[in-house]
Amino acid sequence: MWNQLHQRIDDLYDEMVEMRRYLHQYPELSFHENKTAAFIADTYKKLNIPYQANVGGNGVIARLKGSKPGPTIAFRADFDGLPIQDEKDVPYKSKIDGVMHACGHDGHTATLLTLAKVLKEVQEELFGEIIFIHQHAEELAPGGAKPIVESGVLEDVDYVYGNHLWTNAPYGVIQTAPKEFMAGADRFEITIQGKGGHGAIPHQTNDAIVIGSQLVTNLQQIVSRRIDPLATAVLTIGTFQAGTTFNIIADKAHITGTVRTFDPELQDFIIQEMEKVMKGTTTSYNATYTFDYEKGYPPVINHPEQANIVLQAAEQVKGVEKAEMVVPSMTGEDFSYYLLEKPGAFFFTGAQKEGHIYPHHHPKFDIDERSMVLAAKTFIEILKSYDH
């Protein structure tokens, strides 16, 4: 049966690509994925697989029960797009102005729907139950995973697995990690209130640009000078906005950025240190500040046994040239919420398109569509590993 399933994935490759390209042309932003959710639900309806729509928002959950006893295993795919203008010159370019699938979620969805189709064909030979989690709003906190988990979907699940088509790795590579895999991703906003004035009379002002520049420099020293070099953290300033014209000293500056960590205690320490730095810097310049810190997705922490199952499964897939444990990535993912509830693992499937090296969230992002085949077959082999 298992070899038959691999062959069926190959047989359905053109259909999988067609599905992915359709979704690529009609992306929807996080929390607004109504038509995409309807497409997914309609697909399960045609496959005669029971499903539930509007789970935790726009989530769609389908269930396929085998005839033999066994564990309940969940597979997850996300399906939201990003507020980015598609700049690729391809027939399947996004038709929605200012929105595109710039992270591979269209491929995740096509992969899971195709997997469901081939498993439905052998339902009587399957064991346990397979749950297909189609999640909305991965790209925008608070995300879709948390409300889906809170809906109770995982209550009867024994193991949960997820995949991300990953253009940082070439086609033919599967990557995961035994524990820490992706970082917790937070964001912050700082507003500095100084005193503006004429550019020719700086001594009568409290220059928000100078204060902000000093603050940025001081904030960067938290990671470099206040944290153990063997610990892992990132503090990045993403925007700095101030001023209106060339000869006016700005009274206000607005700064935004992100903090990435794996350790909650380190996360809290960084927040405390940021407060100290902001207070000290602004006080020394007779300015004030406001600080808004939003804790985002928790880190993705794999379970060692399930991460090993991913590697062993990938090694059985024809076309996978390397299955490896890798160092953690500082990118974030709300798959973390599933792993906080149940044993499981998240993995990357190399999807770098030859000669097309644009990263995730780039206006020209695209994937090697063959990666969907490897992802689907890895899911099959993960399932097979529980067939005792």
Annotated binding site for Mn(2+): 103, 105, 139, 164, 361
80: annotated active-site residue: yes
- Virtual CA dihedral for 10, 11, 16, 21, nearest 10 degrees? 100
Binding residues: 103, 105, 139, 164, 361
* Residue 312 DSSP label: H
Rounded Cα gap, residues 117 and 109, in angstroms = 12
Give me 20's structure tokens.
């992915």
Residue (of 375, 242, 261) closest to 328 by Cα position: 261
Please enumerate in sequence order all residues whose Cβ is within 8 A of that of 209, keeping only pairs 6 or more positions apart, or say none. 242, 243, 249, 250, 253
Active site annotation includes 129: no
Catalytic pick among 138, 186, 207, 251: 138
Helices assigned H by DSSP within the chain: 2-11, 13-25, 34-47, 105-121, 145-150, 208-226, 264-284, 304-314, 336-341, 371-384
Query: Are 16 and 116 spatial neighbours (Cβ–Cβ below 8 Å)?
Result: no
Q: Long-range pairs for 233-239 at CB < 8 Å and ≥24 separation? A: 233/259, 233/260, 233/261, 233/266, 233/270, 234/183, 234/258, 234/259, 234/260, 234/261, 234/330, 235/259, 235/270, 235/274, 236/260
Nearest-5° Cα angle at 59, 57 to 65: 140
Residue among 28, 78, 80, 366 flagged as catalytic:
80
Q: Decide: helix, strand or coil at residue 26.
A: coil
Q: Which helix (H) or strand (E) holds 256?
A: strand 252-261
* Core vs surface per residue 297-319: b (16+ CB within 10 A) or e: bbbbbbbeebbbbbbebbebbee
Q: Is 150 helix (H, G, I), strand (E, B) or coil?
A: helix
Backbone angles phi, psi at 56, to 5 degrees: 60, 20
According to DSSP, residue 317 is labeled S
Catalytic residues, which ones? 80, 138
